[in-house]
Amino acid sequence: MKKIVAINGESWAKNLTGIERVAQDTVTYLDKICSPNEFELVVPKNILRPAEFKNIKVVQLDAEAHFFPKWTQIHFQKYVIKNRRLSFDFSNTCPYFAPGIEYLHDIYAKLYPADFKQTRRDRLIHLYSVIMYKRIARRAKKIIAVSEYTKKTIVQTYKTPGQRIEVVYDGLGTYRDIPKDDSIFERLPQLEEKKYYFTLGSLSTRKNLKWIASHAKLFPNEIFAVSGKPIPSVVAPELKVLNSLKNVVMTGYLNDGEVKSLLSRCKAFVLPSYFEGFGLPPLEALSCGAKIIISNRTSLPEIYKNCAYYIDPDNPDVNLDKLLEQPVEDPTSLLELFTLENTAKRLYEIVKDVNK
């Protein structure tokens, strides 16, 4: 390799959600197959989890990473330029003056700007996101898209040549090894085995809580468990409706063990999102033995094919019991395909090709 690849370690300073988990688990697998002096993980001093590897050197800068892009655009970028590194970013961002190999999980903020108008924070997130999307689409040495759907939207929106974009699917990594925490059923005894539907994720607008609220009102005998932490861009009336319904249990934030327990005993996992770049939670649900009921939009049919039950995210009037009577395919081959070991191997091939 001509240059050492500097991986942006901002994910190690954030709460562990989808992108952060993918970043951390992928680097763990990458460390097993790369050689010394090929990669560095550049982390801020306020990391929340330890970063220790055999072959990937960890470089901790004397700077912290917080809400806005100071870490990436000042500290990480300065390190990349000064030390002549090739940047690698997992989270839809890049050092503006030194873009390298950059992930674009989706271009949600560009395609749905109306979802980012509620607060000043949302508007800032939208502005920064669209600047980053455009910079990556125009200047990155290689773009990593997590689905053919995401690749298609980048090409259509920014006229990016398709050969500059590689599709690398997400997958399951250490999530499989997390033990279940059945104490959640002591805290929420109303959730009886195979008698509730479960949905989780950030309570953002695109997760379509409106569908859950409307469906729960239409079918008062069905029980829904809704997990997730409210964020500023969620539409307040939806949460208000959900909190008012007797057949909806708002669990609040759950740890991974509690989530796995709820997934293993639910009637089905439900994801009515109208936009997903990949959609990792249904894969996690399948790994726990749950059936999945998901939206028929964007990337989801591409990823889950005939292993899922599909719903229209604009139509909450659907009988889920009858839907679950339909046959679907066994997800074993899907779970064998979408692993972070496969993700890491593919990324390693791409990095070596770009940096030869």
Residue 346: Cβ within 10 Å count = 16
* Collapsed DSSP state (helix, strand, coil) of residue 149: helix
Beta strand 86-89 pairing with 5-8: parallel
pTM comes to 0.93
Rounded to a whole number of angstroms, the distance between the first and last alpha carbons of the chain is: 5
Angle at 352 between CA 344 and CA 98, to 5 degrees: 95
Selection from 159, 167, 41 nearest residue 104 by Cα? 167
**Token duo for residue 84:** 């002549």
Name the amino acid, one letter, at 34.
C
* 224 neighbors 247 (Cβ within 8 angstroms): yes
Per-position pLDDT tens, the chain of length 356: 589 999 999 999 988 777 888 899 999 999 999 999 999 999 999 999 888 999 999 999 999 998 779 999 999 999 999 999 999 999 999 999 999 999 999 999 999 998 888 788 889 999 999 999 999 999 999 999 999 999 999 999 999 999 999 999 999 987 888 999 999 999 999 999 999 999 986 667 888 989 999 999 999 999 999 987 655 555 556 778 888 999 999 998 888 999 999 999 999 999 999 999 999 999 999 999 999 999 999 999 999 999 999 999 999 999 999 999 999 999 999 999 999 999 999 999 999 999 98
